[in-house]
Structure 1
Amino acid sequence: MTLSLPQPPAAALRAVLTALDSPSAVCAGRGSATRQRSGQLVPALPLPVHLLDAEATASARGTATGMLNGARRTGWRFLILDGDEVVAAAETRETAEGEHVFAHFAEGPYPLSTKRALHQARAHTTSSPTPFLPRLLSVPGRYMTALWLHPVLDPAHGRDLLIPLAPAPLGVTAHVPYDAGHLLAPLSNGNGSLLTAAS
């Protein structure tokens, strides 16, 4: 098996396409790397974004499964391509009413690192009998974002895997697949709450 790429809500895709066509969004949210592009920019490789923060881990009881179960989905992130080149990412957020609205464009190292991590994930899961659903896990208290590979058919026997994106926090190696428990345990304290970078 391999990755089971998720289908984003149609409203999330429409929000990104509208932002790409909006002069105000372009001027306010897109950096020089995308504004200078003359080709057609296309959203691709959408991934749901899950937030792992102190609130989400309050009832986790120190286990990786509990932490990941507490990570709530906040929206979707699309890579923005110019041909085959990743030039940015676009993120949507889910409102309390369940609507999907455009949030912001992002440049920097994470978009390209996301594409690299997806290639690694495909190679890593090819020999696995279990399909994995890729997600993005944001851990703001540790300044970390990781590609989260969640087993979809047999979670009782499959393991959640995390591939940290670059740049990764101190003590974590980017672009190395980790068992979720091995990666999250050092990032938490005794009661299961995430340590902050200043702890």
Structure 2
Amino acid sequence: MPLHVPPAPAPALRSILAALASPVAVRAASTPSLRTATGPLVPEHPLPVHLLNPVAASGGGMPRARLTGWRFLVRGGDRVVAAAETMITPDGWAFSHFCEGPYLASTEHALRQAEPLPSAYQPRLLSIPGLYMLCLWLHGDVTAGDDAQPAPADVLIPLAPAPPGIAAHRPYRAGDLVPVLTHRLGPAPLLGSAV
């Protein structure tokens, strides 16, 4: 079934287009592949970025997630050369930064991997900063808004590089993977205490 990508807020897209059109913003970016790209720079595959808050799980339920921005893959010619991110401010959506690295190709790979799945999903990105981890989050409610929360039946595809012991590009049920992540993010035992 096709993925149902939610439309990016118009101000978020406008801020990305303005940054891409600004020679100063592109030259100042710490992304060599963006600065040396030939041809027009085109934002594509907008995905909402949510931050997982593992301490917000109530009664052993799923942790809460909070929308923090939108990420666009930036195509230069025939390849993705960078990502452009927006953030929410008191005045609305604003350009945040350009970035590059292994998550670009990994995001493209995970989106291709999700396309043939038998159920319809709304793709999002789920960031778990405490583990230096990013997942493609396939939310089962294709009509969900910005306040969507992870559900046990949702699918998470960890992007490469994934933390040790978690296979990148393997689809996991959120109800199976999130408890593992929450456990890893839990408080470390005090030295000398009984385990």
Give the TM-score, by structure 1 length: 0.84
Q: Taking structure 1 as reference, are residues 183 and 41 closer, same or farther at Cα in structure 2, changes over 3 Å only?
A: same
Partner Cα distance (2:105, 2:15) in 1? 22
Matched, 1:100 2:71: no
**CA deviation digits over 1:131-179, x for unaligned, max 9?**
2100000000111000000011599x98200000010001111011001
Aligned-residue offset at 1:32? 1.2
Query: Which residue does 2:107 correspond to in 1?
Result: 114
Q: Taking structure 1 as reference, are residues 153 and 102 closer, same or farther at Cα in structure 2, changes over 3 Å only?
A: closer
Partner Cα distance (1:195, 1:100) in 2? 32
Query: Which residue does 1:151 correspond to in 2?
Result: 140
Cα contact 2:70–2:87 (8 A) shared by 1: yes
Query: Which residue does 2:67 correspond to in 1?
Result: 73
Q: Taking structure 1 as reference, are residues 59 and 51 closer, same or farther at Cα in structure 2, changes over 3 Å only?
A: same
Query: Which residue does 1:45 correspond to in 2?
Result: 45
Query: Which residue does 1:194 correspond to in 2?
Result: 185
Query: Which residue does 2:33 correspond to in 1?
Result: 33
Q: Taking structure 1 as reference, are residues 153 and 16 closer, same or farther at Cα in structure 2, changes over 3 Å only?
A: closer
Matches within 5 A, 1:1-20: 1-20=1-20
Partner Cα distance (2:77, 2:142) in 1? 34
Query: Which residue does 1:163 correspond to in 2?
Result: 157
Q: Secondary structure at the match of 2:2?
A: coil
Deviates more, 1:72-81 or 1:26-35: 26-35
Give the TM-score, by structure 2 length: 0.86
Partner Cα distance (1:176, 1:34) in 2? 29
Partner Cα distance (1:154, 1:80) in 2? 26
Cα contact 2:43–2:75 (8 A) shared by 1: yes
Partner Cα distance (1:154, 1:12) in 2? 20
Partner Cα distance (2:9, 2:142) in 1? 21
Cα contact 1:51–1:72 (8 A) shared by 2: yes
Which structure 1 segments of 5+ residues have no match? none
Aligned-residue offset at 1:30? 4.2
Q: Which amino acid aligns with 2:126?
A: L
**CA deviation digits over 1:6-40, x for unaligned, max 9?**
11011000000111111221122241111111211
